Amino acid sequence: MNLAVNARDAMPEGGTLAVETHNVTVDKLTASAHPDVQPGRYVSISVRDSGVGMDETTREQIFDPFFTTKESGKGTGLGLATVYGIVKQSGGSIRVESEPSRGAVFTILLPRVNAPEPYVDEATRPRPESGSGTILVVEDEESLRELIKRMLSGLGYTVLTAESAAAALEVLDSRGAAVDLLLTDVIMPGMSGARLAEAVETRYTGTPVLFISGYTDEALAHHGVLDAGIRLLNKPFTATELATQVREALKATPNT
């Protein structure tokens, strides 16, 4: 998804996005030319766009956290850093080929696994526990915001939603009362989730906060986006994980 969104943004006037997958075998000779690749069998995923492309200076920095060529408020600089982290944690490699005005191609190699996926009996899968209370969900991605709302509503919670920190404060002001839990994304256009939590605390002292993010708490703390030790739910998450974290946040003292 991050690679596709990145390609879209590189084609403001339109263009072509192509995603290809195939099996490849890397021999010792080929691996010797690529220090980050070991000989073996891989699945290759390539994402190609016909966008504006990149010069060498930009190519050398694109996987660095918080590096972005987009206008202020248009990008976080974490999308490609996340791609890089996922690939490396999976034992794979990623490379990019690009030139100005000639588009870009990202090629990923992931180790191929032939073992069948373990069978999970749905009848024995733990079910999320229901709850009660009013939760304000703040998430700028509409599809995820609505999914979280459905998950929580199905568990018995009353759910309010907002697409930004500013909209969340408007919801609270119009409501004129605190919510039982603030569930907010960390990285959003405009005001961040952390700043929103501070603003909510000013208005309604003691409001519990549960942050959600596609980036680990260590990475966010390292780059000064979020204080270490806060309550964080990492994306992607299951309905059970969401229910458990929400229940614990409601029972716990804020930010402990």
CA–CA gap between residue 139 and residue 165 (Å, rounded): 9
Per-residue pLDDT reduced to its tens digit, 56-90: 888 888 887 777 766 655 555 667 888 888 888 88
The one-letter amino acid at 237:
F
Bridge partners, residue 135, by sequence:
159, 181
The pTM score is 0.60
Residue 103 reports pLDDT greater than 90 = yes
Question: What domains can be seen in the chain, in order of their start residue?
Answer: 2-111 (3.30.565.10), 129-251 (3.40.50.2300)
Give me 138's structure tokens: 């703040």
46-50 average pLDDT score: 95
Q: E strand or H helix at 209, and its extent?
A: strand 209-213
Q: How many H-runs (helices) and E-runs (strands) does the chain carry?
A: 9, 9
Sheet of strand 104-111: strand arrangement? 17-26, 40-49, 104-111, 93-98
Report the pLDDT value the prediction gives residue 166, as an integer from 0 to 100: 95
Per-residue pLDDT reduced to its tens digit, 111-162: 998 887 777 776 676 677 888 999 999 998 888 899 999 999 999 999 999 9
Give me 182's structure tokens: 């603030």
